[in-house]
Amino acid sequence: MATLPASYTPAAIPAELLERDEIHPGDPRFGLIWINSERVSGAPCFFGTRVPVQNLFDYLESGDTIDDFLDGFPPITREHVLAVLELAKTGLLHGSRGP
């Protein structure tokens, strides 16, 4: 899996922003996406941002490239996109974490 820049690590995020997050340490999504009912109406967002993950899929479904997405959302890095796509590939975005 891709390594994210330090700005996306949980240690770089103020603790009060993580208090109500639905994704906790130990979950493979932790540090890649975050979900909080008080942030962007509870939509899963790229960790450390208010950019919904759905925006990435909307871009790709409409025929845009990852570069197009990155141009539209400068706080997101290619590494972050690739890591989230890897999660989607394994079904983790839909809550299937296995046994």
What is the distance of C-alpha 96 from the center of its chain? 16
Rounded-to-integer distance, Cα 48 and Cα 19, Å: 13
Show the domains of the chain with their CATH numbers: 6-93 (1.10.10.10)
pTM (2 decimals)?
A: 0.79
pLDDT 10s digit of each residue in the chain, 99 long? Answer: 444 555 556 666 777 778 789 998 888 888 899 999 999 999 999 998 999 999 999 999 999 999 999 999 998 999 999 999 988 888 755 655 544
- CB atoms under 10 Å from CB of 17, counted, come to 13
